[in-house]
Structure 1
Amino acid sequence: MEIIEAKGLSKVFVLKDGKQVTALGGIDLSVPEGQLTALVGPDGAGKTTLMRLVCGLMTKTDGSLQVAGLDVTQRPQAVQDLLSYMPQKFGLYEDLTVQENLDLYADLHGVTQDTRQQRFRHLLEMTELAPFTERLAGKLSGGMKQKLGLACTLVRSPRLLLLDEPTVGVDPLSRRELWQILQQLVREERLSVLVSTAYMEEAARCEKVYVLNHGHFLKGGTPAKLREVAAGMCYKVTPPEGMPLRSLQSRLLAEKSVIDAVPSGGVVRFITRGNPVELKPLARLSLTAEAIEPRLEDGFMTLLKEDVQEQGGPAVQTAAASSGQMGTFSERSRVAAPVEIEVHDLVRRFGDFTAVSHTSFSVHRGEVFGLLGPNGAGKTTTFRMLCGLLPATSGKISVAGVNLRTARIEARAKVGYVAQKFSLYSSLSVYENLRFFGGAYGLYGAHLYARIQAVLREFHLQDVADHAAGSLPGGYKQRLSMAAALIHKPEILFLDEPTSGIDPLARRTFWQKITALSERGTTIIITTHFMEEAEYCDRFMIQDHGRMLVLGSPEEIRQRMRLPDATMDDIFVAIVEQARSEAEKDSKAKGAVS
């Protein structure tokens, strides 16, 4: 039986100026009962609109839509009684405890006292939140907040659960735990789940996947069926020693016959319709590509590229490849490059809590350096201290040759910063935001105008220059944030989870920009929860509970962990779990001695 059935479903929005925008155009959808079904697609594909139609929070323009055999338009309340919906920004009350949030949502849904006690016990055990019922929601880590949001959504037992990108901004450990919960709910309660996600490995866990773009479905089916779209076109290649994976990726993406290229497992995976032997970047370097089996992401990227080409536009806005020597940020060149950031014995305490404990590292000019860790590990605190946004309790930080403790304003003039959440002025236009931030960095007159025009071109924002920043899709907002951060040509660029919530297509474009900046000598410091992006870094460090666990290049860390072919997700989980296991043993040993 199908829990959701849509035929010819359309949704058209009428703007204030009378223009019509088609968010969904004549789609057919069939979601099986008692299974996990995924929606994947780029920003603006229509995923959230579809979910809101299913919930009865919006009314369709045309077509039919039924949930559990009920017409959503005619009986919206009856449909809402059968389902639970967790939107991207779920409304937890941060000044209430975990238990008080559960009680509040149970009250809102009319859950009886007898029913809620058993339900709460089950949800708290499943989400491992039982020890934290008296903790304020605002004091939880990002992963714990997501699990509490899911528990609040499930205070009643629905037939259908709708999740709109539930794991955005959540680390791999927390994502894995959240998906274990979902799979347990499907297995034990025969719950039907429709989830939209930006992570292809999550979509691969579902029984059925729909690929959505510009309001229409490109293809639907099992993950295996969607992988077949890229069958016979997938290859991997290892760059020569000293060349970052991201440099070879960028040049492969610039080839017309290459559909996609991405660093993974110490190699660059790519998709091409042509003969890989004929690809110029491989021929120049005498590299041999090896055929490999496709992944779900390969099928997804192939479908997107084909669809965009049919619409008459480029699938990926490729950054121009450097005309000089290909990227060679090797260990030798890193040591030779000047140190841009020096951190020694860095400590940050909040009262009795130590967020960062005696951390030391350095970053060299032109290096891409990653700060990674689980939610609550201390990486954002470290990041904010490096940016000069938060003073250190003790230790030394030097940025661009300037001591942050004594000359913070001078140091900040040499850096650009892209915040995790969109932090520009939503009511101002794209152009007005760039003019404001350029002026804040000391640019004026003809120089300011020239830089605005340059970044508008570089980030393909000319067509939306007069649009309000708050009205832009997520991918455009991210590009605007980058443009504002780079308008004064900073020596160092800080990026705080810049790709959170954006799809693989937009992430490729973003990393091409980063590659080009790095090759021009800009130093990049980045935090991310997409562990695959650690492959783009020359080096990265992983923190947990304020302590540095590991520091090195992706290849060095693979060798150290004896996981030569592992994904970065697997390596991250292994490092954090090993450190936590050792810390637990030490704690028990100290307890036994005392």
Structure 2
Amino acid sequence: MQPAATNSTPVVLARALMKSYGDSIAMDGIDLQVEAGEIYGLIGPDGAGKSSLLKSVAGVLAHDVGELQVFGTLINSEKSSELIKDRIGLMPQGLGQNLYGDLSVEENIDYFGGLRLLSKTELSERKETLLRSTRLERFRDRPMKNLSGGMKQKLGLVCTLIHEPQLVILDEPTTGVDPVSRREFWSILARLLKEKGITALVSTAYMDEASRFHRVSLMHAGKILASGEPEQIKTLAAGSVVSMVCSKAEQQIAAVHQLSQQFPQMEVLGQDIRVFVDETDAAKASAQVYLCLPDVAISHSEVLEPELEDVFIALLRKRQLLNSKVTEKNAASNDLPAQRHADHGLAIEAENLSRIFGAFKAVDDLSFRVPQGEIFGLLGANGAGKSTVIKMLTGILSPSSGKGRVAGADMRDAGRQIRERIGYMSQAFSLYLDLSVLENIRLYAGIYGLTRQETTARMDWILDMAGLRPFGSALAASLPMGLRQRLALGCALIHRPQVLFLDEPTSGVDPLGRRAFWEVLFKLAREENVTILVTTHYMSEAEHCDHIALMYAGRIVADASPDQLKADVEAQAGKLYELKTAGDANQAQAMLEVLHKNGFSTAALFGSRIHLMLPEPEQDLLRLHALLQTPDMQFQQKRLSMEDVFVHIVTRLEAEDAKARGEQA
């Protein structure tokens, strides 16, 4: 797909940009060219240099070395940066960071319009258009601080676009936002940019968002690893992903151990084992994997095309940019021997739990059960009630009604007993950032009453598990997000709990950090029989769970394994297909509008491609060909993802609620 106006002067042109903060190099020889009319993505982990590059382009951060031009203007001083700021809209990282919490939706927009010196007529017309486009009209009087995460980001986008900039710069705009809001955000952005001819430079830590961009740059440690169209980048690390399921669940641990000796790039998703093989031939890739498992029976296997995240990690591995893997010591290799928790049946029981705050029912008659040793995912949009459920089960918050048991103890009257048997890693606070790594570990050991010998042994285990041996004296605040979260996990596990509660544990963590984190969780569940209840916004992480409960408006609306949920959605909504054309994203946007007008409500835009559910594929495909009449149009069936499941269920429920409100009105 070719960006618009490739013969014109680039909107952004960077050559050999360098930026350092003391001994830390944020940008290390960055080359970048962004053309007019395209959505350009910067993809990479925390600390890759994305935010520094965006701030330099926006004129709010001075680079040290190199050349930077924006709209053809050389940016080399504060004076030169002021020349282009009126043509730029900047949305900083973090939910609502460019907004004011006590102002209403409309007041925030009016304030930004005033800052940009818009006339009353201009402000009124643009405000109403943007409010309609983002579906924020009926929330115009609501204070920003009372909006959900997705609504805050949509309001932030409105305020960024109110002066119709020529270049919009968005720094991780969907981090911490649920999948439905993420899809809606990208759909709104694509439509608005097409209508106004705006160029966008966007950063993200979500590898699956690459398909939203015309072109992307993969960043790591201040450098650009690769640039180009997403499909082109996937070819840079040739390989295949072999996915398999063991016939006997108890053989999974042995299979993972055997495969890890041969294949350094591997992950476990529930019952599935996914192995990246440096071989493009599917038959040869499968053969290599099977040779490593002579004594393991496989019930199902298939060869898949690598996703961008697989390619990103393969590129780092092949270029020897990954940190050498920490020696995998676990509890079994320390003086304190590994303990497998006894299986007493159910580890967590919630029965008719409810919690009311004033007139608001945060949790509504909720019930579920989690067996010992299971990884249980609690999913839901922002404000669905997930964190409230965890706080009730851990004894932090009293239920308004209902009861629950955790690790054999009644949550209503066994607070101390529950705390001794569980580990809890909260969404907002788990570490003391002004203490060192070792001081945090010792503090938690003291809180849980460990002896000096036990503390020493568990400290060794945590340092090895989290890869923190070189950082013992470093302040927790100075650690990269991935290492910080693994330290928090280690502190939650220091007393060897039976049950582990994790509330959005990897929010803001890069792909490498997330994979390392889940590798630890898998071993805890399978080898030590620890029960894990986790909430997450990363739908790819939901694939790791053995069982999932999906929450909506304080209640559970789906409760099954990931595979069963996918089968249920497929039975209700049909097969998932991807529509590819030879055209660009603008053509795809126009086709999307045609599809929505003709009843294909599930159609969603992914860059120059469209995904949609087809209940009756044969008849629906014939109708689509007749409707679109586009040459070189191709349809390919795709596997449903947990994001597709989440979006389908939540969108359906939102539509039902909207219909009910209309009928009542």
The answer (yes or no) to whether the contact 1:397–1:403 under 8 Å persists in 2 is yes
Question: Secondary structure of 1:149's partner?
Answer: helix
Q: TM-score, normalised by structure 1?
A: 0.90
- Give, in angstroms, the shift of residue 131 of structure 1: 0.4
Which region of structure 1 is more displaced relative to structure 2, 424-433 or 110-119?
110-119
Change (3 A) 1:242 1:289: closer
Q: Deviations over 1:367-389 (max 9, x none)?
A: 11010011121222212212222
- Give, in angstroms, the shift of residue 463 of structure 1: 0.8
- Give, in angstroms, the shift of residue 587 of structure 1: 5.8
- Give, in angstroms, the shift of residue 199 of structure 1: 1.6
Please, which runs of 5 or more residues in structure 1 have no aligned partner? 15-19, 324-334
Change (3 A) 1:348 1:214: same
2:550 corresponds to: 542
The answer (yes or no) to whether the contact 1:251–1:321 under 8 Å persists in 2 is no
1:57-76 alignment runs, 5 A limit: 57-74=60-77, 75-76=80-81
- Give, in angstroms, the shift of residue 219 of structure 1: 0.7
1:408-419 alignment runs, 5 A limit: 408-419=415-426
Change (3 A) 1:567 1:70: same
1:42-61 alignment runs, 5 A limit: 42-61=45-64
2:244 corresponds to: 238
Q: Answer yes or no: is 1:196 the counterpart of 2:203.
A: yes
- Give, in angstroms, the shift of residue 256 of structure 1: 3.9
The answer (yes or no) to whether the contact 2:347–2:407 under 8 Å persists in 1 is yes
Change (3 A) 1:158 1:249: farther
Amino acid in structure 2 at the alignment position of 1:347: S
RMSD: 2.7
Amino acid in structure 2 at the alignment position of 1:359: L
Query: Aligned partners of 1:336 and 1:152: how far apart in 2?
Result: 54
2:399 corresponds to: 392
The answer (yes or no) to whether the contact 1:257–1:273 under 8 Å persists in 2 is no
The answer (yes or no) to whether the contact 1:171–1:374 under 8 Å persists in 2 is yes
Query: Aligned partners of 2:117 and 2:400: how far apart in 1?
Result: 48
Of 377, 380, 385, which aligns to 1:373?
Answer: 380
Question: Secondary structure of 2:129's partner?
Answer: helix
Query: Aligned partners of 2:205 and 2:258: how far apart in 1?
Result: 23
- Give, in angstroms, the shift of residue 578 of structure 1: 2.7
Of 251, 257, 260, which aligns to 1:254?
Answer: 260
Please, which runs of 5 or more residues in structure 2 have no aligned partner? 1-7, 280-284, 333-341, 576-638
Amino acid in structure 2 at the alignment position of 1:46: G
The answer (yes or no) to whether the contact 1:247–1:515 under 8 Å persists in 2 is no
Of 508, 511, 536, which aligns to 1:504?
Answer: 511
Query: Aligned partners of 1:201 and 1:373: how far apart in 2?
Result: 19
Question: Secondary structure of 2:84's partner?
Answer: helix
Q: Deviations over 1:244-271 (max 9, x none)?
A: 999699547724434344649x854432
Query: Aligned partners of 2:264 and 2:369: how far apart in 1?
Result: 36
Query: Aligned partners of 1:76 and 1:451: how far apart in 2?
Result: 52
Change (3 A) 1:55 1:583: closer
Q: Answer yes or no: is 1:481 the counterpart of 2:484.
A: no
Amino acid in structure 1 at the alignment position of 2:462: V
1:278 corresponds to: 288
Question: Secondary structure of 1:34's partner?
Answer: coil
The answer (yes or no) to whether the contact 1:165–1:198 under 8 Å persists in 2 is yes
Of 75, 82, 88, which aligns to 1:77?
Answer: 82
Query: Aligned partners of 1:427 and 1:401: how far apart in 2?
Result: 36
Change (3 A) 1:342 1:286: closer
2:5 corresponds to: none
Query: Aligned partners of 1:503 and 1:36: how far apart in 2?
Result: 22
Of 562, 577, 584, which aligns to 2:651?
Answer: 577
Question: Secondary structure of 1:551's partner?
Answer: strand
Question: Secondary structure of 1:284's partner?
Answer: coil
1:176-575 alignment runs, 5 A limit: 176-231=183-238, 233-241=239-247, 243=249, 251=257, 254-261=260-267, 263=269, 267-273=272-278, 275-279=285-289, 282-287=293-298, 290-307=302-319, 309=320, 311=321, 313-314=323-324, 338-519=345-526, 520-562=528-570, 565-575=639-649
The answer (yes or no) to whether the contact 2:17–2:29 under 8 Å persists in 1 is yes
Change (3 A) 1:262 1:486: closer
1:326 corresponds to: none
Query: Aligned partners of 1:189 and 1:404: how far apart in 2?
Result: 55
- Give, in angstroms, the shift of residue 107 of structure 1: 2.8
Change (3 A) 1:253 1:417: farther
Give the share of equivalent positions with the same residue, in percent.
39
Of 74, 78, 102, which aligns to 2:109?
Answer: 102
The answer (yes or no) to whether the contact 1:254–1:319 under 8 Å persists in 2 is no
- Give, in angstroms, the shift of residue 448 of structure 1: 2.2
- Give, in angstroms, the shift of residue 526 of structure 1: 0.2
The answer (yes or no) to whether the contact 1:208–1:222 under 8 Å persists in 2 is yes
Question: Secondary structure of 1:239's partner?
Answer: strand
The answer (yes or no) to whether the contact 1:430–1:467 under 8 Å persists in 2 is yes
The answer (yes or no) to whether the contact 2:316–2:322 under 8 Å persists in 1 is no
The answer (yes or no) to whether the contact 1:204–1:223 under 8 Å persists in 2 is yes
